[in-house]
Structures are given as structure tokens and as C-alpha cells.
Amino acid sequence: MLAVAGLLLILALVIFHQVFWPGLRLQAIQKRVFPRAWESLLLRALPIYAGLSREQQEQLKNLIKQFIADKNFVGCAGQQIDDVIRVTIAANACLLLLNRNTGCYPLLRSVLVYPSTFVVAHEHQDEGGLVSTHEQVLVGESWGDGKIVLAWDDVQHGVTDFSDGHNVVLHEFAHALDHEDGASNGAPLLRTRGAYKNWARVFAAEFTELQARAQGGAGSLLDQYGATNPAEFFAVATETFFEKPRELQAQHAELYAELVSYYQVDPVGWLAAHRAT
């Protein structure tokens, strides 16, 4: 009898921890006051913040609190972690989650921060089965094992100029969204099954065009690193969407519309509101 009671108690604790505790913990985090010291950091970390609606600003603050509470920030190569780093990275990452009924990067556990560029060794297996290793110097990378790696100096550059179309946080966290369906292929989880057909049509055409421009030496609004593969195209398109929305809307209207539908925000309106303040 005692053994049965013990098993039932263990089962009840497991159910509580897995079913009820996450929601209760989230409620507790959202009830916390957004620290005053973080307010000024947020304004510097996200220049477009003033253009968000009041509701979006509150959403973003709650997401930032949750992100910082949930994710483990790890300094690498001597990099010290402080609130400037936490708020800057969280603010830019959580911009991608506004107005969307989604978790706060549920697969992500750790953010590794280097002072500057870092070297990563990648293995490649050719058609004959021969495995070779090559090193890459990177400013950011999203790993499929719950980690994102960032170079802090490049993060700062993205914050300083939020209109050049380059933002390593937006780029790597777009990859994190792409990973959530188990495949990194440039097609994140969409709201309906039918949405994938139009997404595939628009993104395939835009990706092919960018590849042609890159191969032909022609200029393009989208960074031509996006021609590497569909996953990189989605990440580059995300950077451009948030940092150069007017230009993207004017030059790639269908792509812009797909990203508005996915991200559930219209950054062109943020720019107008920001300039009016």
C-alpha cells in the first residue's frame, strides 16, 4: 500500500512539474517589475523600440524577462557577462516573437558570447566517404543542440546601425526559429498547412533570383550570403525585413508580405512612428 502511495506521489509530482509548473513559473516571471536599469539598456539595445506600440513594448519586456530567466549566458575567451549583454541580445532576439503565439525559443538553452570573431571546426564528408575538417572564422552560429554562439563586437555593431540590414542576433535567432520544426531548410513553422505552398513559391523564386545576382556579379538589397542555401536566405531576409523594411517592401513586395504574415508585425509602421517621436 505504501509503495502504491509512493508511486502515486511521484507521478503527481512529475505531472505537476511537467504540466503546471512551467505556466506558474511564467506567470511569476511576468509579474516581476521590469528593472529600471534595464529600461535605458533596452532603448540603446533596440533603436526601433520607440516605434513599437505600447502593447508591443509591454510584450517585448515580458519576453525579455522570460528569455533572461530561462537562458544560460556563457562568456567565452574571457568575455564577462553583464546586464548590457543580456538585455541587448534578449531584446533583439525577442523582437522576432512579438504578436506570435509561440514559446520563447523553447529549444534554446544557452547563449555563448565571445568578445570577437571565433573559430569553429566543421567536418565534411565527401561522396567517397572521406571526412575532412576545416576551420571557419565566424561572428555567429546557431547550433542544433540548444546553443547559439555570438561575437559581442558584432552584436554591438548591429545595435549601433539598425538600418544597414546586418544584425547577427536577428540572423542567428531566425535560424533558431527555422530549427524548431526539426529541419533547417528556410521554412519555419507556419500557422497553417496551406501557408507553406505560397511560402515555398515566393521564397524559391526570391532565392533563385538572389543566386543569379550573386553569380552574375549584380548588386542586390539582400545580402548575397543569403544565396548560400535556403536556410541562410531566410536568415538574411529576416535581417532585411526588420532593418530595411521600406526597401524590402518596395523591391520585394511578395517576400515582404510573407514575412509580415509570419512575424505578425509590419516594421514599416515602426519606422514611421519612431521618426514621429
In a domain, 80, yes or no: yes
CA dist list (Å): 269 to 60, 246, 255 = 17, 9, 17
In a domain, 59, yes or no: yes
User: How far is 267 from 246, CA to CA, in rounded Å?
Assistant: 8
pTM score, whole prediction: 0.85
In a domain, 106, yes or no: yes
Q: What is the mean pLDDT of residues 36-63?
A: 95
Q: 181: phi > 0 → left, psi -120 to 50 → alpha, else beta; which?
A: alpha
> How many domains are there within the chain?
1
Higher pLDDT, 171 or 19: 171
Contacts of 68 (CB under 8 A, 6+ apart): 86, 87, 90
In a domain, 2, yes or no: no
The per-residue pLDDT for 188 is: 96
Window from 20-24, 114-118, 181-185 with minimum mean pLDDT:
20-24
User: How far is 226 from 107, CA to CA, in rounded Å?
Assistant: 24
In a domain, 22, yes or no: no
In a domain, 70, yes or no: yes
CB-based contact 133:96 (threshold 8 Å): no
The per-residue pLDDT for 271 is: 78
Q: What is the mean pLDDT of residues 36-54?
A: 94
The per-residue pLDDT for 28 is: 62
In a domain, 8, yes or no: no
Domain of residue 150: give its range: 34-276
User: How far is 158 from 235, CA to CA, in rounded Å?
Assistant: 14
- Between the ranges 17-31, 172-186, 227-241, where is the mean pLDDT highest? 227-241
Answer yes or no: is pLDDT of 74 > 90: yes
Q: What CATH number is associated with residue 82?
A: 3.40.390.10
In a domain, 61, yes or no: yes
The per-residue pLDDT for 120 is: 73
The per-residue pLDDT for 96 is: 98
**Environment class of 270 (CB within 10 Å of its CB; exposed 0-12, middle 13-18, buried 19+):** buried
